[in-house]
Amino acid sequence: MASSREEQLRNNRRLARQFVGLVAIVLIIIGLFTVVSWCVSAIRAALDDTDRRQSYADRLYGLVMFDPLPFDDVSQVDQSVFKQAAIWGCVYQIQASGGSLDDYERDEETGSVMLPQLEVDTYLTNLLGPDYQVEEGSFETTEMNYIYDEERQAYLVPVTGAVGLYTPEVESIETHNGQLHVTVGYIPTLASTTSLTLTTPTEPTKYMDYIFSRGENRQWYLSALQESEMQPQATATPGASGAAAPTPDPQALVESNLGTASSSTEQPTDATPVPEKGADDSQSGDAAGEASSDSQPQQDASSEGGDAGSSDGGAAE
């Protein structure tokens, strides 16, 4: 009896050890799967820079809208370019964040939105750095005039008065020689296209490199704008010979259509005018006169239609 009891205790201990071992194996497997999933998520987050590219697209929206010329230093650029970009960049950020311009004060005379100077200055500081100094006041650009209200320290923004030429799409963000190169694709808006269709383009038609340098607190601030080596892909369909079909000139196309329409409505110079028919002209005489473009219409010999026939002959002459 004693040996059987000891054997039973040994079996119980063996089963307990096996159970504990099985639980440990299951926990190890779960832990491995958890660690692997964390590693995969970290790698995906490291490789996927979608949020970062979108943040730079939002940051550069106001500049891309009006397609500024390239520059090597921000000090070379007229302040009106950056102030205009800041105003419309603020308007875009307000709408993109779910806000509404109806929450802002309106000018009673013009109905324009009163955009606070503080928001414009904050936008410029985030874009160009705290060292960039802006002179407040009214200014004008090739697009419109911007009025500054000194009493309320705000810009009058006619929201319906400007339409941007392009919208930004950041293609890549790379670091070269201590500078950040942000390649931006310019997608034309409907107002900037010369196409005869009403379809808005969805692919960039050109690319520009926005150069950022390290500034205060190791933040990146815009320092230059250069033409990019990246070129837009050809969208033309190959013709029968395999070469890309040339894009027709919209103005030439319109003039061609107008010329075709006008030539189709003109009467040949050698055609004989069709005389007016008398009251008693026979139907057979009408058909014969219309069928032959070179012959004169026959006059009606009847006495009742003599006057009408005579007038017809005079018109034919």
pLDDT in tens, 75-105: 999 999 999 999 999 999 988 888 888 889 9
User: Residue 221 CB: number of other CB atoms within 10 A?
Assistant: 19
**One-letter identity of residue 166:** Y
Reported as a pLDDT band with limits 50, 70 and 90, residue 274 is: very low
Let me know: does 144 contact 111? Beta carbons within 8 Å.
no
**One-letter identity of residue 294:** D
pLDDT tens figures, 127-157: 999 989 888 899 988 878 899 999 999 999 8
Instruction: Scan for tokens 């950020």, then name that residue.
Output: 93
Let me know: does 79 contact 141? Beta carbons within 8 Å.
no
User: Residue 9 CB: number of other CB atoms within 10 A?
Assistant: 10
Q: Which domain holds residue 200?
A: 54-227
Q: Is residue 124 part of a domain?
A: yes
Who wins on pLDDT, 123 or 38? 123
Q: Is residue 155 part of a domain?
A: yes
Q: Is residue 276 part of a domain?
A: no
CA distance 143 to 146: 10
pLDDT tens figures, 173-183: 999 889 999 99
- Within 8 A by CB and 6+ apart from 261, the residues are none
pLDDT recorded at residue 2? 60
pTM of the entire structure? 0.59
User: Residue 261 CB: number of other CB atoms within 10 A?
Assistant: 9
Q: Of 277, 297, 279, nearest to 288 (Cα)? A: 297
Q: Is residue 246 part of a domain?
A: no
Reported as a pLDDT band with limits 50, 70 and 90, residue 110 is: confident
Instruction: Using the predicted structure, report yes or no on whether residue 23 has a pLDDT greater than 50.
Output: yes
Number of domains in the chain: 1
Q: Is residue 141 part of a domain?
A: yes
Between strands 113-116 and 139-140, the pairing is unpaired
Q: Is residue 288 part of a domain?
A: no
Q: Is residue 113 part of a domain?
A: yes
CA distance 141 to 126: 22
Q: Is residue 306 part of a domain?
A: no
187 Rama class: left (phi>0) / alpha (psi -120 to 50) / beta: beta
CA distances (Å), origin 247, targets 72, 190, 252: 34, 18, 11
